[in-house]
Structure 1
Amino acid sequence: MPHGLIVGGITGLSALFAHTTEMRLGLFLFLFNLPFIFMSRKHINLRFALYTILGVVCLAIASLALHHYPAVISDPLPAAILGGICLGSGIGISVRFGGMYTQASEQGFSLLSGGPPRSAEVIIMALNCAILFAAGALFGWYQAMYSIIAYLLAFESLRLSLRSLSHSRAVWLTTKRPGEIQQVLLHSLQCEAALLAESWQEGKSGTLFCLIHRSELKQLQSLVRRHDPECHIVIRSAESYRTRRVLHK
Structure 2
Amino acid sequence: MKQTQKDFLGKITLAIAGMLIFSAGINFFIVPADLYNGGMLGISQLIRTVLVKYLHLFSGSTDIAGIINMIFNIPLCFIAWHYVSRSFFVRTLICVISQTIFLSFLPIPSTPLVNDTLTASIIGGIVAGSGIGIALRAGGSSGGLDIIGMYFTKRFKDFSVGRISLCVNAVIYGICAVLFGVQTTIYCIIYSAVSMLMTDRAHTQNINTEVLIFTKNNPVKIMDYIVKDFNRDATWWEARGGYTEGKTYMVMAVLSKYECAHLRRELRQIDEHAFIVEKDGIGIGGKYEKHL
TM interval, short-chain normalised: 0.5 to 0.7
The alignment status of 1:153 with 2:196, answered yes or no, reads no
Aligned residue runs from structure 1 range 1-249, under 5 A? 1-19=31-49, 20=51, 21-22=57-58, 24-39=64-79, 44-67=84-107, 70=110, 73=113, 75=115, 77=117, 78-92=119-133, 103=153, 107-108=160-161, 120=164, 123-133=167-177, 135-136=179-180, 141=181, 145-146=183-184, 148-159=186-197, 162=200, 168-179=208-219, 181-182=221-222, 184-185=224-225, 188-189=228-229, 191-199=232-240, 205-237=248-280, 238-241=282-285
Q: Deviations over 1:103-130 (max 9, x none)?
A: 399735xx5xxxxxx6x46642442234
Relative distance call for 1:168 and 1:42 in structure 2 (3 A) is: farther
TM-score by length of 2: 0.60
Instruction: Report the Cα distance in structure 2 between the residues aligned to 1:43 and 1:212, rounded to whole angstroms.
Output: 23
CA RMSD for the aligned pairs?
4.0
Q: Deviations over 1:153-208 (max 9, x none)?
A: 32245247648x85543212122224453465267435554334434799754332
Q: Does the 8 Å contact 1:83/1:150 carry over to 2?
A: no
Relative distance call for 1:183 and 1:76 in structure 2 (3 A) is: closer
Q: Does the 8 Å contact 1:86/1:154 carry over to 2?
A: no
Aligned length: 228
Relative distance call for 1:3 and 1:72 in structure 2 (3 A) is: closer
SS state of the match for residue 266, structure 2? helix
Q: Does the 8 Å contact 1:171/1:211 carry over to 2?
A: yes
Partner of 1:114: none
Relative distance call for 1:158 and 1:123 in structure 2 (3 A) is: closer
**Identical columns (%):** 21
Aligned amino acid, residue 39 of structure 2: G
Instruction: Report the Cα distance in structure 1 between the residues aligned to 2:226 and 2:64, rounded to whole angstroms.
Output: 47
More displaced stretch, 87-96 vs 14-23: 87-96
Relative distance call for 1:169 and 1:188 in structure 2 (3 A) is: same
SS state of the match for residue 211, structure 2? strand
Instruction: Report the Cα distance in structure 1 between the residues aligned to 2:226 and 2:191, rounded to whole angstroms.
Output: 41
Runs of 5+ consecutive residues of structure 2 not aligned to the other structure: 1-30, 52-56
Instruction: Report the Cα distance in structure 2 between the residues aligned to 1:88 and 1:82, rounded to whole angstroms.
Output: 10
Relative distance call for 1:226 and 1:71 in structure 2 (3 A) is: farther
TM-score by length of 1: 0.68
